[in-house]
C-alpha cells in the first residue's frame, strides 16, 4: 500500500494590514527537496504540500500543492487534510510565526498614561485602528503593535494522526551542539514526534547547512547540505524509522 505524506514548507505571513505583514526567512527549499526525494520512491503515493506564498515548490507531479499565508490558514488546512485524507507521515518544516498581530494603536493614545498591562491590552482592543483601515495611514509616526501567540501546529499532528510518523524541525541560532540537541529532543518528547531535524541558523546562513536528525533515544544522524538532509529524512520515512 502506498504512503501518503504531508509536508509543510516556507514561512507564514501574519498581516499587519492589507499590504504590510510580519514574516520570516523560511523559503521552503528544504521542504521541496524532501518532497522530490520521497517522490522518487514507488512506495510514495500522494504528497500533500502545504506551502507559503512564494516558497519553493516540488518538481514532482505527485505533489498536491496547497498555498497558505497565515498560521490560521495553516491550521485550517492541516485539520482539513488530516480529517479527509489517509496520511502516513508528516514533515513539518514550515517556519511558523510565533506571533500574529492582535491590534495597532497610535503611540499618542498612551502618552502620559500610567497603565497596567491589563489596562494597556484593554486599550489596544477597544481602540484598535487596524480594524478601521485596509491600509494603515503612512502618517502614523510611531504605531504600536500588540502581538499575541499563534497556535502551536506541531503538537496537533500527533492528536490528529496517532499512527503517523511525525518529523518536526527545530532551528536555533548560534548555540552549542549540546544545547541544540537537548532542545530538539525536548521538543520531540513534548510533542509526540518520532524525529526532530535540528539545525543552527549559523550553518544555514553560511550555505553549509548542517542538519541532525534526532530520534526518541536521542540518537543523532548528521548530514550536510540541503539535498543530503532531504534524502536522510526521506529515507527515515520510507524505511519506517531506519535512517
**The C-alpha cell of 92 is what?**
513539518
The Cβ of residue 170 has, within 10 Å, a number of other Cβ atoms equal to 21
Domain range summary for the chain, segments of one domain joined by +: 3-98+152-238, 99-149
Find the mean pLDDT for residues 35-47: 96
With 0-12 CB in 10 A as exposed, 13-18 as middle and 19+ as buried, what is 21? middle
| pLDDT more than 70, % of the chain | 99
Find the mean pLDDT for residues 161-189: 97
Question: In the structure, what pLDDT confidence band is assigned to residue 112 with cuts at 50, 70 and 90?
Answer: confident
C-beta of residue 35 within 8 angstroms of C-beta of residue 50 = no
CATH architecture assignment, domain 3-98+152-238: 3-Layer(aba) Sandwich (3.40)
Give the separation between CA 80 and CA 90, rounded to whole angstroms. 14
pLDDT in tens, 73-109: 999 999 999 999 999 999 999 999 999 999 999 999 8
SS3 state at 81: helix
Q: What is the per-residue pLDDT for 222?
A: 97
Find the mean pLDDT for residues 114-140: 90
Decide the pairing of beta strands 210-215 and 143-149: unpaired
pLDDT at 150 exceeding the cut of 70: yes
pLDDT at 63 exceeding the cut of 70: yes
Q: What is the per-residue pLDDT for 241?
A: 59
Q: What is the per-residue pLDDT for 242?
A: 61
pLDDT at 180 exceeding the cut of 80: yes
Amino acid at each position: 500500500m502506498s504512503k501518503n505524506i504531508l509536508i509543510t514548507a516556507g514561512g507564514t505571513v501574519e498581516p499587519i494590514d492589507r499590504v504590510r505583514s510580519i514574516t520570516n526567512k523560511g523559503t521552503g527549499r528544504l521542504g521541496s527537496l524532501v518532497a522530490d526525494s520521497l517522490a522518487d520512491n514507488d512506495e510514495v503515493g500522494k504528497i500533500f504540500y502545504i506551502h507559503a506564498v512564494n516558497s519553493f515548490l516540488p518538481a514532482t507531479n505527485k505533489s498536491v500543492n496547497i498555498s497558505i499565508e497565515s498560521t490560521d490558514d495553516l491550521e485550517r488546512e492541516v485539520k482539513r487534510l488530516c480529517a479527509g485524507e489517509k496520511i502516513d507521515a508528516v514533515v513539518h518544516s514550515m517556519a511558523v510565526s510565533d506571533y500574529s498581530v492582535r491590534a495597532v494603536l497610535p503611540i499618542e493614545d498612551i502618552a502620559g498614561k500610567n497603565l497596567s498591562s491589563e489596562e494597556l491590552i484593554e486599550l489596544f482592543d477597544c481602540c484598535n485602528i487596524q480594524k478601521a483601515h485596509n491600509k494603515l495611514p503612512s502618517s502614523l509616526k510611531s504605531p504600536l503593535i500588540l502581538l499575541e501567540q499563534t497556535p502551536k501546529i506541531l503538537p496537533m499532528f500527533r492528536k490528529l494522526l496517532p499512527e503517523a510518523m511525525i518529523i518536526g524541525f527545530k532551528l536555533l541560532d548560534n548555540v552549542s551542539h549540546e544545547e541544540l540537541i537537548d532542545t530538539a529532543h525536548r521538543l520531540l518528547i513534548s510533542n509526540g514526534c518520532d524525529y526532530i531535524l535540528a539545525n543552527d541558523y549559523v550553518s544555514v546562513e553560511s550555505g553549509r547547512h548542517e542538519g541532525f536528525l534526532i530520534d526518541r533515544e536521542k540518537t543523532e544522524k548528521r548530514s550536510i547540505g540541503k539535498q543530503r538532509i532531504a534524502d536522510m529524512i526521506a529515507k527515515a520515512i520510507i524505511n519506517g524509522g531506519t535512517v
